[in-house]
Amino acid sequence: MNISNEFTDVHRGTVLKETGSKIIRYGLAIVLIWIGMLKFTPYEAAGIMGLVKNSPFLSWTYPLMGVRGFSDVLGVVEIGLGILICIKSFAPKISLWGSVGAIIMFIVTLTFLLSTPGIIQMGYSFPFISPMPGQFLLKDIVLLGASAWTAGDAFHAAKSKPVLAA
């Protein structure tokens, strides 16, 4: 391989990495904002009911604010986190908080794998998880990883951002 081919390969790798980083950040934000908006619909509020009511961390919310009230609050949180993740280019410290919030949220949702009935496909045993809710929740591992990556990226951006002199 000659030098020009090596440069081209390095450049391609850099372009792919930069493209991937944008897809991770803004894809995560789109998922959070979109699903957050759906939390204001009756079907989405009903859809998360089985997860929330069986959660040792969240079941207390239904008697306090009801199914729709909790879903609405969760929608506001998800939309807010998505927006915060998006603003890294001009407010990396604030974006970092959005990513940390998403990390916490996805850790909590992953606990549903342990608390929700029906995770294991009926008639089978582990590792055969059901499409709903098992496989539906499994994707949150990737979203947790994306949140951790966006947090690290925002942290580095916040540390390298020059401080303006007064």
The residue ranges of every structural domain in the chain are: 10-160
pLDDT in tens, the chain (166 residues): 566 677 688 888 899 999 999 999 999 999 999 999 999 999 999 999 999 999 999 999 999 999 999 999 999 999 999 999 999 999 999 999 999 999 999 999 999 999 999 999 999 998 899 999 999 999 999 999 999 999 999 999 999 866 554 4
Q: pTM for this one? A: 0.89
Residue type, 115: S
pLDDT at 7: 66
Residue by residue, what is the 3-state secondary structure of the chain? CCHHHHHHHHHHHHHHHHHHHHHHHHHHHHHHHHHHHHCCCHHHHHHCHHHHHCCCCCCCHHHHHHHHHHHHHHHHHHHHHHHHHHHHHCCHHHHHHHHHHHHHHHHHHHHHHHHCCCCECCCCCCCCECHHHHHHHHCHHHHHHHHHHHHHHHHHHHHHCCCCCC
Other beta carbons within 10 Å of 80? 15
